[in-house]
Structure 1
Amino acid sequence: MQFNFDSTEPLYLQVADQLEDAIFVATFVEGEQVPSTTEISKQFHINPATVLKGMNILVENGLIEKRRGLGMFVTHGAREKIQEKRRQEFYEQYVVNLVLEAQKLAINESTILEMVKRGFKIT
């Protein structure tokens, strides 16, 4: 994990985002314990309350769960929840804007689809 202390994004959101990303890329798998608030706060010199605030976002979203006396663990289905959330964000941030811009340029649906197909051939 790397934190940008100069960013306008609050540290607790950076904690939540980075833990979520670690779950998504399977650094932490379902059922596995994530580092404790104390471990993260000591390693990165962040206030434990800040770390806990970020972790609580993941608890609220059902991605990690508190096990009394044991710590925080990745919930079953967490990766799929993240994937669905990110797909929805992708749609809202990219697809909707793509369609709106295409309409301004008088580009029809079939032309957009051809352009997307051409884009996939690049990679």
Structure 2
Amino acid sequence: MQFNLDDNSQEPLYLQVARQLEDAIFLKGFDEGEQVPSTTEISKQFHINPATVLKGMNILVSEEIIEKHRGLGMFVTKNARERIKVKRQNEFYSDYIQNMVEEARKLNLSKQQLLDMIERGFEENE
């Protein structure tokens, strides 16, 4: 797994760790039940504090995407990809769809006009 942490990003390092590990799981870089790199491995690779890495990993533990096995490390949970998918669909709705509908209303677009625009977007990007 290759992390690309950005020291200059506005996003804190621990959130970058969580997001990139989540991406790796979602994109099948790790299978259910598979061990993920340890906090020590990640911290040494990027020269960051292990506590920073652990803080990011604990986010994924709280979301039941990875789980701790005492003395063994962290492992991908069963149904982790499905949890990530549902989470991202909910975020997509709140981050994009709600704003898009609000802007469409400001522009006096009908529901059908908005759906036509979305359809056009899909067709243009095939």
Q: Is the pair's TM-score, using the shorter chain for normalization, greater than 0.5?
A: yes
Match of 1:85 in 2: 87
Amino acid at match of 1:61: E
Deviation, 1:73, is 0.2
Q: Does 1:76 align with 2:67?
A: no
Unaligned runs of 5+ in 1: none
Match of 1:54 in 2: 56
Unaligned runs of 5+ in 2: none
Taking only aligned residues, the RMSD between alpha carbons, in angstroms, comes to: 0.8
TM value normalised by structure 2 = 0.94
- Return the alpha-carbon distance in structure 2 between the equivalents of residues 14 and 91 of structure 1: 22
Deviation, 1:8, is 2.2
Match of 2:97 in 1: 95
SS in 2 for 1:40: helix
Amino acid at match of 1:96: Q
Number of paired residues?
Answer: 123
- Return the alpha-carbon distance in structure 1 between the equivalents of residues 14 and 77 of structure 2: 20
Identity of aligned residues (%): 64
TM value normalised by structure 1 = 0.96
User: What does residue range 32-47 of structure 1 map to in structure 2 within 5 Å?
Assistant: 32-47=34-49
Amino acid at match of 1:75: T
- Return the alpha-carbon distance in structure 1 between the equivalents of residues 56 and 101 of structure 2: 34
